[in-house]
Structures are given as C-alpha cells and as structure tokens.
Amino acid sequence: MRKRPTSITIIAWILIVAGGILLLTSSVNLNNPIVKGIMAKNPIPISVQYMIMYVGLLISIVSGIGLLKKQNWARFLYVVWNTIGSLITLFTSPMKTALIPGLIFFIVIVIFLFRPGTNQYFSKT
C-alpha cells in the first residue's frame, strides 16, 4: 500500500475539523437576527438554505473521513457537492464578493486532490 500524501491528510483533517466546528457554530446562529436578515435577502427559502448548509457540512465531514480511509469516491463527492453549492451561492447570494476566499480555497484543495501523486494513491492498482 502506498503511503498517504501529506496534503491528503491535511485536507481531510481540515474538512473534518472545520465541518464539525461549523456545524456547532451554525446551530448556535440559528436564531441570530443578523444572520436571518442576510439569509432573507437570498431568493432561496431560509429552511432550504439551512438544509443545503447542513448537508454540505455533513458531506465535508464524510469526505474527510473517506479521504483518510483511501476512498476515491470521497474526492469526487467533495468536488461535486462544492461545485454545485458554489454555483447555487454564486447565482443567489446577495454578497458575491464574500465568496472569493472560499472559491480560492476550494480551487487549491481541488488541485491537491487531483495531483498525479494523489491520483496514484487513490488508484486501485
């Protein structure tokens, strides 16, 4: 078995830890009037926004665990979900400039998830 690339270990733990922290902080902010005010400006109903957010955070955690367990599907799950989420947010968010740091972070992660050495690590051979 080939050794896991350090970048995959780091990415996996970032997804797991950040997902867990964001699950907690998002739950605390459920009734925050400022957050609700911002969310109300989005054409997507608030309840659907919360559902998308929680599903996305759970997918991040599951993807991180899958990456640690050398599951190739975990990379694709992360990329597909975040691409869909980014597109939804791009078209519906009232604060488009706030998306730039997250998009840059996502692009960097995608580059590391699909480098040649990483592809070799996740290959079945």
- Reading the chain (125 residues) residue by residue, the pLDDT tens digits are 578 999 999 999 999 999 999 999 988 888 888 888 888 888 889 889 889 999 999 999 999 999 999 999 999 999 999 999 889 888 888 778 888 998 999 999 999 999 999 999 998 75
Round to whole Å and give the CA distance between 121 and 3: 7
**Widest Cα–Cα separation across the chain:** 53
Task: Break the chain into its structural domains and give their ranges.
Answer: 6-122
Contacts of 61 (CB under 8 A, 6+ apart): 15, 16, 19, 20, 23
Round to whole Å and give the CA distance between 32 and 26: 10
118's tokens: 């990483």
